[in-house]
Structure 1
C-alpha cells in the first residue's frame, strides 16, 4: 500500500509539473498586417508551428488603415496578456488590447501617444516592457518628426529619420508624458528591451540608409529602464533585417529578426551578449511570418488554444 501511495504521489507531482511547464509562443503578422494577429508555438525556440491553422486570432478594427503590424505581446503582473501594435504606416497613435487566454480579447483601443506632436509622421513598432518592482508598463516606439534631427536627415530631409520615444502606464488608461528613450545620433527603430540581473538590454535596429547602408541589429544597455542607454554596439546581425525580438533559453540568448528582403526569418544566438552566431539555418517559421514578439506561456494556455482549434475555432 505504501508503495502504491508513493507511485500515486509521483504521478500527481509529474502531472502538476507538466501542467505548469512553459512553452514558447511567437506573435506575428502576415502581408501588410490587414488580417491581424497570428501565433506560432515552439518547444525549443527553433522550430515554430502555426496555431489555428495560421488563421488570425484577432482582426484589427482601429486606426485609419486598420492594420495590425508588429504585434508585441507580454504577460503582465496580473496574469493578463497585453498587446500593442502598429495601426498604420502614417498615424500618431498605436493599438492596444488585452486577454487572459490569447483567444478572447478586450475591445481594441487607440492610444494617441504622439498627438501632442502635430508634425509627427508615424508611430512604428511599439514594444512593451513590464517592470515588476514598480508594477509599471513601458511602451516604446519609433517616430519621425521632420526637421527635428537635421544632422541625420536623408533624402534632403524628406525621408524617415526616427528616434525612440516612450510612455509609462499602470493601467493602460492613464499615461505619463511622452519622452525620448534613445537618441545616439542615428536613425533608429524597432527597439525591444529585456532585463538580466540589474541591466536593461535594448536590442535595436540602426535604420541608417545613407551614406552607408546599415539596416542591422545592435545592442545598448543601461542600469535604468528609461534613460542612460549606452552607445550602440557593433552589428550582431546581417544588414537589411528588422524587428528584433529576444529571449533567453537556458543559458543562451536568441534574437530573432525579419529578413524582409528575403521574405524569411533569421536569428543569432549568444551565451554572453558579445559573441554572436548566426543560426538562421537552424530555425523554421510558418511561411509568410513577419516580425513580432517571442514570449513564454504556461503549457495549459497552448493546450486550450489547440483544443479550440480542433473544435473548429476561427475568427
Structure 2
C-alpha cells in the first residue's frame, strides 16, 4: 500500500489545538428537509446477499425505504480490507456530505484496522476523495464510526469503538477536514463492553445512544457538551425482546417526533424502529412491522435528512428498483415469495432472497391489470390453478394469461394498501391461508381476518 494513500493522525496536536492550515467550515445552508437518505451494507441468512460496499436508499417519510441503483453498491472501498461495514453519512457545515465506514470486509472479527474509510460527496450522487483516515495506533479495531459538529471546538468529533483496558470503549478524534485527526481520547467508558455510539442534539442538549455489548440492548446518555467523559446514562435498557445494536436517531421532518432505528447483529437479523416525542424523557415506543419497511437485506443503517430536491435528484440519478416486494398486512414481518413453485408468505429475512422479488408487469390478459413475474425465474409467473396460487412457466395460452392477471384495488383492510382481484374469477381475490396464497371470494362483508388476509403493501 502506497504511503501517500494513507492519511495519518501524525501532527494531530496542531489540529487538536486548533492550529494548522485548516479552512474554517462554512455554516450549513438553511434548508427545509423533506426526505432521508440511508447508507448500509447487505447480508442475508446464508450470506447470498453479502456485499460489503456502500449502498443507498431514500425515503420521503423516514419509515418506508426505496433502495437505489437496484440495491447495488454506489461506492466501493479499494484500500485496507477492501470492504466496509457500518456506513455513516454526515452533512458537513458547508452543506456537503462525508461518508465514514468501518474498514472490515465480511465477518473476520479478528481483523484489526486502525483506519476508517472516508468519502466526500457534494450530493450523494458522486463520491470523491476516497481515502483511509488513521484514528489510532492501538492493536485493536475502529468500529462503527459516527461524527458530529462541535461548535465550541470548531471541529468535528469522530467517535468509534476500540478495545482498551480489556473492553470496547467509545473513542473520539477531532478533525476539521476528515483528512487528518487529533490523537484519540476515550470519549465514553461504560465500565463494560460498549459500541455503536450515535448522536443527536435537541434543545441544546447532546444525546448519545449506544449498545451495551454484554446483553445487546441500547442505552441513552446525555451531556451539555461534547467533552470526553461528560456523558451520563439517563435511560433504562431498550430492546425489542431480542439482541439489537446500531442505534441511529433522526427527527421527523414535519412533526415533533423522533425515530430510532436499530439492527440485529446476525445475518438473520432485521431492523427495528422506535418512536418518541420527547428524546429528553428517554421513553421510546417500538413500532410494529406494518409501520416501516427496510431496504432489502440492509444492515447497520446510517441516516441523514435531505431536501426534496436532493431526494428527487438521487432517485433520478440512481433509479428505483425494477422489482417490488409484497408485504402481508396482518403478518407484516412476512413477504410474498415462491418456494417449490408454491406462493406463500414467509418471515423476512430468508434465502434465496430473490424469491420475494417480483416484476409487476402489465397484465398478460389485460394491460390494465398486473401480472407477477418472478425475478429469479423470469419465464415464470404467479397464476391460480384450482384456486391455489402457484409459480408456473408462461405457456402462451389464453388460459394462462387469464389465470396470471389480476386487478389492483384499494386494500380491504386499509385503503392505502392493495388487494388483487382475479381477472377471470371476478369475485375472488389473492389472500393467504395458513401462509399459502390462493384466491377466495372476499367482500366488504367478509370477516375482518379474510379482509386482512387479502391486503398487501407493494413495496421494495
Q: Deviations over 1:25-78 (max 9, x none)?
A: 111111387441111111111111111211111011111x21121000011111
Is 1:253–2:258 an aligned residue pair?
yes
1:232 to partner: Cα distance: 5.5
- Aligned partner of 1:59 in structure 2 is 76
1: CA distance, partners of 2:182 / 2:226: 14
Choose the corresponding residue for 2:122, options 100, 118, 122.
100
Structure 1 268/297 Cα, relative in aligned 2: closer, same or farther at 3 Å?
same
- Aligned partner of 1:75 in structure 2 is 91
1:245 to partner: Cα distance: 0.5
Is 1:124–2:146 an aligned residue pair?
no
Structure 1 234/245 Cα, relative in aligned 2: closer, same or farther at 3 Å?
same
Is 1:270–2:270 an aligned residue pair?
no
Structure 1 21/183 Cα, relative in aligned 2: closer, same or farther at 3 Å?
closer
Choose the corresponding residue for 2:310, options 294, 301, 306.
301
1:112 to partner: Cα distance: 1.5
For the 8 Å contact 1:202–1:220, the answer to whether it is kept is yes
1: CA distance, partners of 2:141 / 2:288: 31
Where does 1:47-196 land on structure 2 (aligned, <5 Å)? 47-63=64-80, 65-88=81-104, 89=109, 90=111, 91-115=113-137, 117=138, 120-132=139-151, 134-145=153-164, 148-149=165-166, 161-196=167-202
1:304 to partner: Cα distance: 1.9
Structure 1 309/94 Cα, relative in aligned 2: closer, same or farther at 3 Å?
closer
1: CA distance, partners of 2:259 / 2:319: 31
- Aligned partner of 1:199 in structure 2 is 205
Which structure has more relative contact order (CA 8 Å, sep 6+)? It is: 1
2: CA distance, partners of 1:206 / 1:39: 27
For the aligned residues, what is the CA RMSD? 2.1
- How many residue pairs get aligned? The number is 272
Specify which structure has the higher proportion of helix. 1
2: CA distance, partners of 1:294 / 1:311: 18
2: CA distance, partners of 1:311 / 1:179: 42
For the 8 Å contact 1:34–1:66, the answer to whether it is kept is no
Specify which structure has the higher proportion of strand. 2
- Aligned partner of 1:225 in structure 2 is 226
1:107 to partner: Cα distance: 2.7
Where does 1:227-242 land on structure 2 (aligned, <5 Å)? 227=228, 228-231=230-233, 233-238=235-240, 239-242=242-245
Structure 1 280/133 Cα, relative in aligned 2: closer, same or farther at 3 Å?
farther
2: CA distance, partners of 1:307 / 1:48: 15
Task: Provide the TM-score with structure 2 as the length reference.
Answer: 0.56
1:20 to partner: Cα distance: 5.7
1:121 to partner: Cα distance: 2.0
Where does 1:12-31 land on structure 2 (aligned, <5 Å)? 21-31=33-43
For the 8 Å contact 1:181–1:226, the answer to whether it is kept is yes
1:310 to partner: Cα distance: 4.5
Q: Radius of gyration: which is bigger?
A: 2
1:133 to partner: Cα distance: 5.6
